[in-house]
Amino acid sequence: MTELFEPTDAADHRLALRAEGLLAAFNRAGLLTAADTHVAVRVGALGGETDETVLLAVALAVRAVRRGSVALDLAAAPGAAPAPPAEDLGPTPSTPATPATPATSAPPWPEPTAWARAVRGSVLVDAGVLHHEHGLLYLDRYHRLEAQVADDLARRAAQEPPEVDEDRLAAAVAAVAGEHFSAEQRRAAEHAVRSRTTILTGGPGTGKTTTVARVLLLLADQAAARGERLSIAVAAPTGKAATRLEEAIAGELAGLRAGDAAALVDRLPALAGVTLHRLLGWRPDNATRFRHHRGNRLGHDVVVVDESSMVDLTLMGRLLEAVRPRTRLLLVGDPQQLTSVGAGAVLGDLVDAHADTSGSPVAALTVNHRSTRHINELSERLRRGDADGVLAVLDAGDDEVSLVELPDAADGPEAAERAAAELHEVCLGAARRVRGAARDGDVAGALAGLDAHRLLCAHREGPWGVGAWNRRVELWLAEDDEARGVAPSYGPWYAGRPLLVTSNDYTLDLYNGETGVVVPTAGRPRAFFAGGREVSPGRLDAVETMHAMTVHKSQGSQAAEVTVLLPGEDSPLLTRELFYTAVTRAERRLRVVGSRAAVRAAVERRAERATGLAARLRTARAADGPADAGRR
């Protein structure tokens, strides 16, 4: 469901019946949900605030967090178009979920200067329920979190740098160079050895993992010089990304063991990739608190976190309070990608805060060594926001990058039918190969087939959504069976059904984002996942079919060939970050399906989030110390 809604009648559950005045007007206009207004009414009643413009600001601050911001930018609020939450729940605006009853017209926004004055002077600010800082209005919880993240990072930066045996470092750098180690990778690795905190950024294939593997060897070597052995954690926000990181590091180390670095590789302990939740000590009774915290820190000497762009402010706060101040922290990721589903844009803020400063913890890798030339060129032009350049690369139309062009105003069911006709062969072909391997009992082949082609959608529902495209591919498979005289499999656990895990299951050792496939074994369907994990379907309750997946869910994985379905240009989900994330999932071939207007809108629209973290970090750096040393 998008945030705009159209009430169907006076008893519509989305109407906040107890809200009055401005809150009721904004709720009726679809700009606030019933829950936003209830929070504001309750906070107002408890805190003794009756000014309806302040209560409106509270409700909008709740809405801002729900939509991914950490705070409400009061000045920008009237101009900000309603947008869906990070993980879209519903159809595009052109396909309303409710009958067409006209939405109430937009209510009047308070006069900006008087509004800001009323908010700053509110008893809720005096009581610490709200905070007004850097032009932003914070709910207390997010203000504390943001300040804590800034303080912890500033404290880490204020420490004495680690002692480094430079001669030994130079010798080890030469030994780990192996077959490839570019100058920028070498600089990044040396930076990481000399720093407590490193933010290693770069797009897919820029050699981040290659560099991380070498950093670990260099650190283990420095520790060996002191007669110590390192304890290392390698983690990522999703299980899929953690497994990928573990495998990629293991692959790099295996290559280096064959060369001059064998002795160094032998010094490293075995490395198992874990989810951040598992590293921090997941608790069944609390989703945002962990076993490890400031009073019970993680014991590791080095903590590596891959796919850091997916880490929201809350999880970053928990991580920073759990790592010991002297632990080496390596945050790895691509700040151009979609931001976290939860509130915050932490990685991007960290990079912004340190742009063009000396002593910055950011080490950037810029050369893509994996994807092919046109995919690289497209992502580079996307990064620069060059819409004409993006269209020019797509128009050049070769085997590597192509545009399946739809008419400009087309984003409804008819255009989806046209797209279906274009994609029938490629989507059915990919699904058929996975099904063929599954029917032959070839688990490895079926799992490998999952990464051959990926169909990415912005939306979950509607004609351009994952649901419709999953059903479509299943129908094509059934038709294909019929055409071949094979009895179609209609049950939910049909052979070759691609699976996407949607939440962590610690008992089954399955993690959000992992992919698997159904393969019949001894006449019964079984679900298989990477690493030889086999599960009875009856035990799986958090899986979805994955003939298509959302761009959000595709983060942390790549496929040889990717098809991206762009929704209509008016879709609020269509942003540069979404398009860039989708494009950079492709290793060898990319097909973009959509109108030219949608491509242009995707390049030109940024996913803005209101956060004050970058400003806080700049202030802390200027003061050369924690942003607020008195807090806590």
Ligand X SMILES: Nc1ncnc2c1ncn2[C@@H]1O[C@H](COP(=O)(O)OP(=O)(O)OP(=O)(O)O)[C@@H](O)[C@H]1O
Binding-site residue ranges for ATP: 202-209
> Residue 528 or 580: which CB sits closer to ligand X?
580
Q: What single string gives the DSSP state of each residue in 74-106?
A: TTTGGGPPP---SS--S--TTS-SS--PPPPPP
Task: Give the chain's length.
Answer: 632
Cα–Cα distance for residue pair 71/349, rounded to 1 Å:
14
Candidate ranges 78-86, 146-154, 208-216, 318-326; the one touching ligand X (CB under 6 A): 208-216
Q: Residue from 69, 209, 340, 515 that binds ligand X (CB under 6 A)? A: 209
DSSP E strand stretches across 95-177: 130-133, 136-139
Is residue 465 close enough to count as binding ligand X by CB under 6 A?
Answer: no
Least distance (Å) between residue 252 CB and ligand X: 7
Write the Ramachandran bin of 121: left for phi over 0, alpha for psi from -120 to 50, otherwise beta: alpha
Least distance (Å) between residue 277 CB and ligand X: 21
Cα–Cα distance for residue pair 117/83, rounded to 1 Å:
27
> Residue 53 or 376: which CB sits closer to ligand X?
376
Q: Residue from 197, 198, 201, 210 that binds ligand X (CB under 6 A)? A: 210
> Is the distance from CB of 549 to CB of 466 less than 8 angstroms?
yes
* Residue 608 DSSP SS3: coil
Burial of 509 (0-12, 13-18, 19+ CB in 10 A): middle
> Is the distance from CB of 210 to CB of 375 less than 8 angstroms?
no
Is residue 416 close enough to count as binding ligand X by CB under 6 A?
Answer: no
Tally of CA atoms within 13 A in the half-sphere of 283 that contains its CB: 10
The strand order across the sheet containing 362-364 reads 273-275, 232-236, 302-305, 328-333, 197-201, 362-364
Is residue 14 close enough to count as binding ligand X by CB under 6 A?
Answer: no
Judged by CB under 6 A, the number of residues near ligand X is 16
> Residue 515 or 558: which CB sits closer to ligand X?
558
> Residue 214 or 433: which CB sits closer to ligand X?
214
Candidate ranges 134-142, 176-184, 266-274, 485-493; the one touching ligand X (CB under 6 A): 176-184
Is residue 379 close enough to count as binding ligand X by CB under 6 A?
Answer: no
Candidate ranges 90-98, 206-214, 355-363, 530-538; the one touching ligand X (CB under 6 A): 206-214
Cα–Cα distance for residue pair 156/361, rounded to 1 Å:
11
> Residue 32 or 175: which CB sits closer to ligand X?
175
Cα–Cα distance for residue pair 352/342, rounded to 1 Å:
19
Cα–Cα distance for residue pair 62/71, rounded to 1 Å:
8
Candidate ranges 37-45, 55-63, 177-185, 437-445; the one touching ligand X (CB under 6 A): 177-185
Candidate ranges 27-35, 44-52, 101-109, 201-209; the one touching ligand X (CB under 6 A): 201-209
Least distance (Å) between residue 167 CB and ligand X: 24
> Residue 64 or 253: which CB sits closer to ligand X?
253
Is residue 186 close enough to count as binding ligand X by CB under 6 A?
Answer: no
Q: Residue from 117, 120, 180, 294 that binds ligand X (CB under 6 A)? A: 180
Is residue 207 close enough to count as binding ligand X by CB under 6 A?
Answer: yes
Residue with tokens 């050049």: 396
Amino acid identity of residue 615, one-letter, is: A
> Residue 209 or 595: which CB sits closer to ligand X?
209
Both tokens assigned to 308: 């850091």
Q: Residue from 204, 273, 335, 462 that binds ligand X (CB under 6 A)? A: 204
Least distance (Å) between residue 60 CB and ligand X: 36
Q: What single string gives the DSSP state of each residue in 539-597?
A: G--SEEE-SEEEHHHHTT--EEEEEEE---TT-TT--HHHHHHHHTTEEEEEEEEEEHH
Return the number of other C-beta atoms located less than 10 Å from residue 431's C-beta.
Answer: 22
Candidate ranges 31-39, 127-135, 202-210, 387-395; the one touching ligand X (CB under 6 A): 202-210
| Residue numbers 523-582 binding ligand X by CB under 6 A | 558
Query: Which x/- pattern over 228-267 shows residues binding ligand X (rule: CB under 6 A)?
Result: --------------------x-------------------
**Residues contacting 254, CB < 8 A, separation 6+:** none
| Residue numbers 288-307 binding ligand X by CB under 6 A | none
Is residue 369 close enough to count as binding ligand X by CB under 6 A?
Answer: yes
Q: Residue from 370, 383, 424, 618 that binds ligand X (CB under 6 A)? A: 370
Summarize as ranges the residues that interact with ligand X (CB under 6 A): 180-182, 185, 202, 204-210, 248, 369-370, 558
